[in-house]
Structure 1
Amino acid sequence: MKETKKDIRSYTQDELRAYFIDQGQQAFRGNQVYEWLWKKGAHHFEDMTNLSKETRAFLQEHFVINHIRVDHMQRSKDGTIKNAVKLHDGLTVESVMIPTPTRTTACVSSQVGCSLNCEFCATARLKRMRNLNPDEIYDQVVAIDQQSRAYHNRPLSNIVFMGMGEPLMNYNNVIKSIDKITGNDGLGMSPKRITLSTSGIPKMMKKLADDRPKFNLALSLHSAIDEKRVKIMPFNEQFPLEDIKDALRYWYEKTGTRVTYEYVVWKGINDTKEDIDALIEFCKVIPCKVNIIEYNSIDDGRFEQASKQAVDAYERELNRFGFVVNVRRSRGKDIDAACGQLANKE
């Protein structure tokens, strides 16, 4: 029976060292392979040029590197790039490169589809097919870094886990991927330039706080009134806002870092003074800032961008109470690359 090739990126550095010792070779070969895989992002064993041809052939015979492939790339008129990323098993996720004059941000996916059921998000309609492995998340970052260098002559500067999927529902793999992205044995990026966005899973938010991450946390909030939030984010029934507030207090107590609230204002849904007052009370729970995000249509017409007057009212009142607020204009709308639009349409 033919041996099934093993996924070499599922091995730790120590396991690779031990493997080479078992093969009668020196342990440092494991270090060399590990560096090629995680620091240099090699996708092929033949690229590992400081290994002998015999060693490379041996690796080719017994192992596989299940790397991603950018199957289709779209470029927006504002410079945003959306990648359809083909995984080794034929499934597809999407990632986005968002350039500004001063930085390049990668928006990466953590699941094929999504575990949650937010009514306003195109990804939620796909349902969750599977979690991404750490290397599949890492590969998205490497691909966007290469695109940033090619198109803008600069490296990737920021990463947001705001693509397809709920990162906290793929906790272990997401944390492992961030370890590889930030580690000296990987890409060496600063964790301060990484933001993980959750829709609000209290138990997992507390677990994250216990792990004392050095990266940033964002909460996709959209309403600070339970009845309204359940209508737009039905899973909120299992995770009500009081539980999320409790998790936020725990987060701040453990980490001492503020949270960013992401908030879309929709016409006729959360554009009243009652909604603004509720958000202001929610903002008093722990130190925070608020990003008001422009809504991006997903074609069914149920959700519409609120008027400029409604958004201005949010901004004015939040400022009046001393909260930091930014109004974010969406990028890449013309190629369905903006927040909430990732759905593998192609």
Structure 2
Amino acid sequence: MEIVKKLVSKDNSVKYLLKMEDGNTIETLYMYDGQLKLTYHSTVCVSSQVGCSQGCFFCATGKQGFVRNLTSLEITEQVDTCVSYCREMNLMPIDAVVFAGMGEPLMNYENVKEAIVNIYEKYKIGNFEIATVGLTPKIDKLISDFKGSPINIRLNLSLHASSNESRKPIMPVTSKYSIESIIDAAVKYAETFKRKTRLRYMIFKGINDTELDLQRLEALLKGKPLKLIISAYNDNNIKGLTAPKQSEVIDFYNKLKDKIDCGIFHNFGADIKGGCGQLRQENIED
């Protein structure tokens, strides 16, 4: 795997454009939390597919469509690249690998599972996170395969709406798996592994930030072992979507914080388009 481009953010995140043997490219993000504010302080965000088939309206990766799954080796090599960087820069060892880059990791389940085991055995990294649109049968398989394992996998479900009607236009997968079924799977996962499942809620100004959304979220999540992680939409210049101000994100959070468990997402690499939904394949001119 060849490093074609390397961009360093003002927050010290590093985004790599990597070219594979067949000429396809993927992006990988290394995040360094120097202030130690987050759960994981030295993290690699890896891609699991070239492109993505899920077609989420807000996502740059989804706009290019699906090309192919990555092999377990190609996933592991992204971690190799970032481990080398950490050693070169004398940074703390990587303590987590997050599957939140290009692609839907549960659509490439077997290779993702094999990569997790390989990374654990190679680097003794025991913390992982899988971000998914909510493919509930694969969540059941994840539970079955890793129950009792020393490998810790945090589940991060992309919610981004408070009702099926408002979620379908931005996340087509809702037609197959309803919000209710996704919440049920999230609760089952949390109860199995004795840790809260995270639900991502990216705010699109004027679309999912209303008083009705606040009421629906409280009804959906109150009393459940779930944590809502609120963030602003990362602007991908998509017509019809507007990013809120950070003050508006904080206001939304403040209206919920005493009713359900929630937090505000810390976005790394925004100035190099390394945020959630911003990673994409780039064309390379010979």
- Structure 2 Cα separation of the partners of residues 245 and 99 of structure 1: 31
Aligned-pair CA distance for 1:252:
3.2
- Structure 2 Cα separation of the partners of residues 133 and 268 of structure 1: 40
Aligned length: 274
Higher relative contact order (CA 8 A, sep 6+): 2
Match of 1:293 among 231, 246, 256: 231
1:89 paired to 2:11:
no
Name the SS of the counterpart of 1:137 in structure 2: helix
Mark the CA change 1:93 to 1:264 in structure 2 (over 3 Å): closer, same or farther.
Answer: same
- Structure 2 Cα separation of the partners of residues 96 and 309 of structure 1: 26
- Structure 1 Cα separation of the partners of residues 123 and 130 of structure 2: 18
Match of 1:282 among 220, 224, 235: 220
- Structure 1 Cα separation of the partners of residues 48 and 25 of structure 2: 12
- Structure 1 Cα separation of the partners of residues 278 and 132 of structure 2: 17
Runs of 4+ in 1 over 3 A off after TM superposition: 307-310
TM-score (norm 1): 0.75
Contact preservation (8 Å) 2:218, 2:260:
no
Larger radius of gyration: 1
Q: Bigger CA drift: 240-249 or 101-110?
A: 240-249
Aligned-pair CA distance for 1:290:
2.0
* Equivalent residue, structure 2, for 1:27: none
Name the SS of the counterpart of 1:304 in structure 2: coil
* Equivalent residue, structure 1, for 2:210: 272
TM-score (norm 2): 0.90
1:334 paired to 2:271:
yes
* Equivalent residue, structure 2, for 1:118: 56
Name the SS of the counterpart of 1:244 in structure 2: helix
- Structure 2 Cα separation of the partners of residues 322 and 121 of structure 1: 27
1:247 paired to 2:185:
yes
- Structure 1 Cα separation of the partners of residues 246 and 273 of structure 2: 22
Name the SS of the counterpart of 1:231 in structure 2: coil
Contact preservation (8 Å) 1:260, 1:290:
yes
1:235 paired to 2:173:
yes
Aligned-pair CA distance for 1:203:
1.1
What residue ranges of structure 1 are gaps of 5+ in the alignment? 1-67
1:205 paired to 2:139:
yes
The residue type equivalent to 1:112 in the other structure is V
* Equivalent residue, structure 2, for 1:100: 33
What residue ranges of structure 2 are gaps of 5+ in the alignment? none
* Equivalent residue, structure 1, for 2:68: 130
Q: Deviations over 1:264-320 (max 9, x none)?
A: 111111010111121222223631222212321112342111244542333123321
The residue type equivalent to 1:94 in the other structure is E
- Structure 2 Cα separation of the partners of residues 329 and 247 of structure 1: 25
Show the 5 A alignment for 1:1-346.
68-101=1-34, 102=36, 103-183=41-121, 186-190=122-126, 193-211=127-145, 212=147, 214-284=152-222, 286-308=224-246, 310-323=248-261, 325-345=262-282
Contact preservation (8 Å) 1:267, 1:305:
yes
- Structure 2 Cα separation of the partners of residues 157 and 303 of structure 1: 34
- Cα RMSD for the two superposed structures: 1.8
Mark the CA change 1:148 to 1:301 in structure 2 (over 3 Å): closer, same or farther.
Answer: farther
Mark the CA change 1:158 to 1:281 in structure 2 (over 3 Å): closer, same or farther.
Answer: same
Mark the CA change 1:329 to 1:251 in structure 2 (over 3 Å): closer, same or farther.
Answer: closer
Name the SS of the counterpart of 1:200 in structure 2: coil
The residue type equivalent to 2:232 in the other structure is E
- Structure 2 Cα separation of the partners of residues 149 and 173 of structure 1: 27
Q: Deviations over 1:122-144 (max 9, x none)?
A: 00011111111111111101111
Contact preservation (8 Å) 2:187, 2:225:
no
Aligned-pair CA distance for 1:242:
1.9
Contact preservation (8 Å) 1:108, 1:161:
yes
Q: Deviations over 1:62-85 (max 9, x none)?
A: xxxxxx222211112221111111
